[in-house]
Structure 1
Amino acid sequence: MQKITALVRSGVIALSLACASTAAIAQENPLSARSEVLPTALANLTDKGVRLTFLDERGGVRGYLGESRDGKMQVFYLMPDNDYVIVGTLLRADGLNITGLQIADMQDRFAQFRNEVEAKNADISTPQTDTPPSPRVANATPYDQKVSAVPVVVEPSPVAAVGSAEDKDWSKSDAYVSRLAKETFLTDVAKTAFFTVGDAEKQPLLYMVADPNCPFCHRAWAKLQPLISDNKLAVQVILIAGLKGSAPKTRSILAGKEPGRAWWLGQGSKDGVEVPAEPAAGTEDYKRADYYLKLNNDFATKVGLSGTPFFAYVGSDGKLYSAEGPDDLAGFLDRLMN
């Protein structure tokens, strides 16, 4: 368990520094007062002075990080019958180290708590400005090509906040290795009517399929914008219309002279921002925008998209990673950002 101990140390230390009394935390068992409601298998551990921190539940078993009085750490898994505890590492059928992911999630929670405490205790707050970059816009496919329209029906998927994992021997991204063929995906995505926000020539490139009426796309974009502002990321946006009422908004944005800037300023990417009316039906602008929309919808159908937002990228290891509304956006991006 040496690796787990190393992983957790920084999080435990950070949490202790953020609190008023390190000694009080070290002496208090966070679950001791609840021993009467704990399963006997766990209560026996806390009675022996083991401090337990709940990780999460995977595969029907609940994971806990335990620290003994002498500082040794082990991960315990409570079986579904509540009568047995197993000590060790939890692996998924494909070999993914679930225990490592759980430890990293706990680190992220500690780091978030520490940041919140430091923010509350700060004597001053520094005002920040948000100057939008000049988006690079590209419509990759000529208008004179013909495509067939295939309707796409998608449901929005939730995403989590952006953070980071700290151990580079493994990565949270490993859970998102794509089943799509990389070369085929890259060929197909290059033929879409996309716009790029950020400098894709200098920054890591993330592909994003979004629907202007998808609230989870809006939340995800709010997490990505600071990374673009800090010149840490570029995002290639492929707009589709799978939700009710999305098509006019998508055509409006794609018909504009600067769709990337419109998206950056909130059109289709932020709740409450009005999107201008689409071009009049039958006009050249309408036909062009409708062509782009059908092209992107075809791409979404070919990829097998069933929810938005959809993300993909080629990681530092050369593998393709993809996910629809990943539960942990930070973990998903790890192989791209680090």
Structure 2
Amino acid sequence: MRNRTLISLMLLALPATPALAEDYPAAIEALVEQGVRIEARFDAPSGMTGYAARVQGRPLAFYVTADGEHVVVGSMLDAQGANLTPEHLEAHLPEPEYNDAWPRLEDAAWLREGAADAERVVYVFSDPNCPYCKAFWEASQAYIGPDVQVRSLPIAILHPSSMGKAARILAADDPTQAFIDHQESGSEPLARVPADIRRQVEANNQLMRELGAHATPAIFYKDTEGHVRQILGLPDDAVMETQVFQTAPAR
């Protein structure tokens, strides 16, 4: 029940998007109309058809019955209790490629914490009303410095006041300090958002969607081989240290 509820909430959070140019059975078509991105179709056991997909960046398998009228979401087990779904996803759902995202992030409207010449760069889409974004900001303070910079892209997707708050940050004489002040003590939204600032926030919103990020914070960084990676939501301490920042936090 908990997994079903989680998946339902993830689907509700997705923006409506046009279906891909594909002839899907009705059960899958309904999911596509909710924003599920189908990456591959494959033959599954017992005459079922499998679909490898991503929901908010999370890989999921959907299994459609032979009549096309019903879809099963989640893990498929064989007679011995072995979970077949990880093998299905590994075979049919390639690792997403985000390298083209890096120059687009560089050209977006962001503010920087940390040294301008810091070699380690992390981008994060942050909504002013997102508690997990605030938690990530708090955790990042132990890493930011001469070797690590974090570039935050203000977005407005969670609450009507998000636009005014994001605009207040970007319109400030010192956006970085305005961002820090907001994280430390909150802020009031601008009563009137300048048109150019609104366009910047909306462009960040659009970029986030185009990069397949449907949860906040949405974090982009480069792994040890220079490949761009994405994390949706608040990572745990170990992931922050070993993957996102790739350095030990200041103690």
Interval containing the TM-score (normalised by the shorter chain) = 0.5 to 0.7
**Is the 2:162–2:189 Cα contact (8 Å) retained in structure 1?**
no
* TM-score, length-scaled by structure 1: 0.43
Alignment partner of 1:179 out of 88, 96, 106: 96
Deviation at 1:180, TM superposition (A): 3.0
Q: Match for residue 233 of structure 1?
A: 148
Pairwise CA distance, 1:329: 4.5
Cα distance, 1:199–1:259 mapped onto 2, change above 3 Å: same
Question: Take 1:332 and 1:225, find their aligned partners in 2: how far apart are those partners?
Answer: 12
Pairwise CA distance, 1:94: 9.1
- Which of the two has higher C-alpha Rg? 1
CA RMSD of aligned residues (A): 3.1
Please give the secondary structure, in 2, of the residue aligned with 1:307: coil
Counterpart in 1 of 2:190? 278
Task: Mark the runs of 5 or more structure 2 residues left unpaired by the alignment.
Answer: 1-85
Name the one with the larger strand percent. Answer: 2
Deviations 1:156-190 (A, max 9, x none): xxxxxxxxxxxxxxxxxxxxx961330x2012212
| Corresponding residue of 1:337 | 246
1:288-310 residue CA offsets vs partner (Å, 9 max, x unmatched): 21111111111111112211001
Matching of residue 323 in structure 1 with residue 227 in structure 2: no
1:300 to 196, 205, 208: 208
Q: Distance in 2 between matches of 1:94 and 1:322?
A: 22
Q: What are the Cα deviations for residues 203-227 of structure 1, in whole angstroms up to 9, with x where unaligned?
A: 4111111100000111111100121
CA contact (8 A) 2:98 2:229 kept: no
Letter in 1 for 2:219: F
Equivalent residue, structure 2, for 1:253: 169
Partner of 2:176: helix, strand, or coil? helix
* 1:218 match: 134
Q: Could you tell me how far apart the structure 1 residues matched to 2:155 and 2:186 are?
A: 18
Letter in 2 for 1:212: P
Q: Which runs of 4+ in 1 moved over 2 A?
A: 92-96, 326-330
Query: Structure 1 unaligned runs (5+)?
Result: 1-91, 97-176
Output one character per residue of 1:25-57: Cα deviation in whole Å (capped at 9) or x when no partner. xxxxxxxxxxxxxxxxxxxxxxxxxxxxxxxxx
Would you say 1:188 and 2:104 are equivalent positions? yes
Does the 8 A contact of 2:164 with 2:192 survive in 1? no
Amino acid at match of 1:310: A
Matches within 5 A, 1:150-189: 179-182=96-99, 184-189=100-105
Given the two structures, how large is their TM-score scaled by the length of structure 2? 0.56
Q: What letter corresponds to residue 177 of structure 2 in structure 1?
A: R
CA–CA separation in structure 1 for the residues paired with 2:95 and 2:104? 15
Question: In the alignment, is the contact (CA less than 8 A) between 2:167 and 2:190 conserved in 1?
Answer: yes
Q: How far apart are the structure 1 equivalents of 2:126 and 2:95?
A: 18
* AA matched with 1:287: A
Alpha-carbon separation, structure 2, partners of 1:197 and 1:331: 20
The alignment covers a number of residue pairs equal to 162
Q: Distance in 2 between matches of 1:200 and 1:316?
A: 21
- Which structure exhibits the higher relative contact order, with contacts defined as CA atoms closer than 8 Å and separated by 6 or more residues? 1
In 2, Cα distance between equivalents of 1:194 and 1:205? 12
Q: Residue by residue, what CA displacement relative to the aligned partner does 1:103-161 show, whole Å, maximum 9, x if unpaired?
A: xxxxxxxxxxxxxxxxxxxxxxxxxxxxxxxxxxxxxxxxxxxxxxxxxxxxxxxxxxx
Residue identity over aligned pairs, in percent, reads 22
CA distance in structure 2 between the partners assigned to 1:330 and 1:295 by the alignment: 32
